[in-house]
Amino acid sequence: MTRSLEVLASPYLRGLIPYSPGKPIEEVERELGIAESVKLASNENPLGPSPMALQAMRNALPDVHRYPDGSGHHLTRALARHWDVSPEMVILGNGSNELLELAGRCFLMPGDEAVYAASAFIVYDMVAQVTGATKIVVPMREFTHDLDAMRASVSPRTKLLFVGNPNNPTGTAVPARALEAFLESMPRDVLVILDEAYYEFLSPDLIPDALRFVRAGRPVLVLRTFSKIYGLAGLRIGYGIGPVPLIALLNRAREPFNTNSLAQVAATAALCDEQHVASTRAVTEMGRKFLTEQCRSLGLSVIPSVANFVLVDVGRPGPATADALLRHGVIVRPMAGYGFATHLRISVGTPPEIERCVAALKAVLGR
Ligand SMILES: Cc1ncc(COP(=O)(O)O)c(C=O)c1O
């Protein structure tokens, strides 16, 4: 008798609920027979990529028959200079998502504990699930990481602890000093993964100095990405900064050519494009305020966000509401999978995109 593939799969994989990404615009338009829809579902940059990144890719195109530089020499060095760390403290990933998974693969085994917040980025849960680690899920307080409760959940079996700051999907951040005190308080044998995918959207008063802990050799891995403010989500490029021995361990298990050559040159150029970063930050701040006010004027409750998206309670089932919005050409993300049955996560778009979204919300909610 032959065994089914399902039985052959690891029992941890069998229990994994797959990540459901936001639908591509073309797919939605094809399915519904509509055109000119707006995508506000994946927290991408509404201004597009940095023009400097585009030019760098054009210049690099003739060389795509070659394998990329497996060490990402230039980008790694540019990041090291940018953050005042040594190049040996930097690792590149196929999106920061790859680095979350790599850390799980390198550190977690069945019986180990991984601590993270309920309603934090779903990939932390997936990383724990697929490695067979025990999940220690800590409730949030007012839609924000409860650092005291997370610290209290650390046990001698804890190996990894994830903090998303700002957090996706709530859009909240913890106070900078509280996060630093939390890092200070952590045992030296627990690896803290500080996921800062939305770091560049933080106002100066909210920016923690996590790299101070990394430079001091504490077991902290800071993850950042080029997918959000830099507008390079489609290229899949992110990075981690950690103490040298940690980065060396992660590099042992890293796929040799995990980041591609176009992504490497584009990210190196985007890192220098301060104007694009500043414009994106300005458009996001203005748009977030506008979107929040508009949703509130429709009588909806909005969690105050510091990122490039907002979580909105529409007071009725989120998935059906998102489907109805799709028919108006507006793609947003229902958040039932995160335990928010009546919420939608709406990325901050350009002013016309936000206006389209608000008009569609009005129509769908009958306001
Ligand atoms: C909190 C958080 N971390 C990590 C990621 C992964 O980003 P990427 O793999 O594109 O770098 C995302 C993507 O949405 C995110 O929201």
* Confidence band for 1, pLDDT divided at 50, 70 and 90: low
Res 2 pLDDT > 80: no
Q: How many CB atoms lie within 10 A of CB 299?
A: 10
Average pLDDT score over the chain: 96
pLDDT digits (tens, 9 = 90+) for 265-303: 999 999 999 999 999 999 999 999 999 999 999 999 999
Measured in whole angstroms, how far is the alpha carbon of residue 265 from the centre of its chain? 21
pTM: 0.96
43 lines ligand 1 (CB under 6 A): yes
245 CA to centre of ligand 1 in angstroms: 24
Please write the tens of the pLDDT for every residue from 229-239: 999 999 999 99
Whether 225 is in the pocket of ligand 1, judged by its Cβ within 6 Å, is yes
Is residue 280 lining ligand 1, measured as CB closer than 6 Å?
no
CA of 95 to the centre of ligand 1 (A): 7
Q: Which two tokens stand for residue 132?
A: 């067979």
227: how many CB neighbours lie within 10 A of its CB? 22
User: Going by DSSP bridges, is the β-strand pair 191-195/220-225 parallel, antiparallel, or unpaired?
Assistant: parallel
Pocket-testing residue among 162, 227, 236, ligand 1, by greatest number of atoms within 8 A of Cβ: 227
Peptide bond into 334 cis (omega under 30): no
Go through the domains of the chain in sequence order and give each one's CATH number: 5-48+275-365 (3.90.1150.10), 51-273 (3.40.640.10)
